[in-house]
Amino acid sequence: MLPVLYQVVIPFLLSAFVVILIMFIAERYGSKTGGILGTLPSTIVVAFVFIAITKGTEFAADAAAVVPAELGINVIFLLIFAVLVHRSPLFAFIATFCIWIFLSSLLVIFQLNNIFLSVCIYLVSVVFTFLILEHKKKINSKGQVTVTYTLKKILTRGILAGIVIAIAVLLSNVNSIISGIFSVFPAILSSTLLICVREHGADFAAGMAKSMAIGISSVAIYATIIHFLYPLYGIALGSIIAYMLSFFLTLMIYFTRGKIK
């Protein structure tokens, strides 16, 4: 019963709540705010707590080493989506997931487990993506949009996100590298973007993708910190310290968001 709780029930409920919250913030305060605050560590916390409980803190720390590199791939995922969504949302999603599968497979093939190389891959991806979206494509964030909330709309958003995250977490406990990769499977990213493009159009979805590419840094920080702290301080204290620092980074990004178009 306990494995089912951690693998399915908690990830499902948490991810459903997160996507609903992201969309509420974005629709009320704009894609820039929603994209940045919406990328706070959420499902990764549950995933790594579960991995550490079942496999031990050393295994979880090893799994966390690949996460920054995988998040770099997620940033490329967002870049490709933002560039292609105006052509065809369906083509954009197909292309992004094909690229995600290819690049993630390379991490498995080369067994990337060096945290410093992983962080470098992430930083290169973020800088490259920001330069393309901000200066080359000149994709702008969008402001507040008007939306009428219904129970059906809220439940649809939550169930969509909950299903994909529960599947991702369920598949994460294979080995340390695959565990790390699936812990940040772009399920909330893709489900949020799907809702954005269907309800508010390609421009809003592209703006949300750009903000997420920047805000996702807090998750990279979280993974990097638990890689070092889990073996030293255990699950509870390591998670708390990592989350506090990642939250602080998110606040810094949020309060400097005015410099982003």
What are the tokens at 132? 């393309």
Residue 252's pLDDT is 79
Residue 199's pLDDT is 78
The answer to whether the CB of 57 falls within 8 A of the CB of 239 is no
107, pLDDT greater than 80: yes
Share of the chain above pLDDT 90, in %: 36
- Is residue 80 very low, low, confident or very high in pLDDT (cuts 50, 70, 90)? very high
* pLDDT tens profile 20-71: 776 676 666 665 565 566 667 877 887 788 788 878 899 999 999 999 999 9
Q: The dihedral of CA 182, 186, 188, 190: what is its sign? A: negative
* pLDDT tens profile 183-196: 888 877 887 788 77
228 Cβ neighbours under 8 A, 6+ residues apart: 61, 115
Residue 176's pLDDT is 82
220 Cβ neighbours under 8 A, 6+ residues apart: 67, 68, 71, 119, 122
Residue 65's pLDDT is 96
Task: Report the distance separating Cα 41 and Cα 59, nearest Å.
Answer: 20
Residue 5's pLDDT is 60
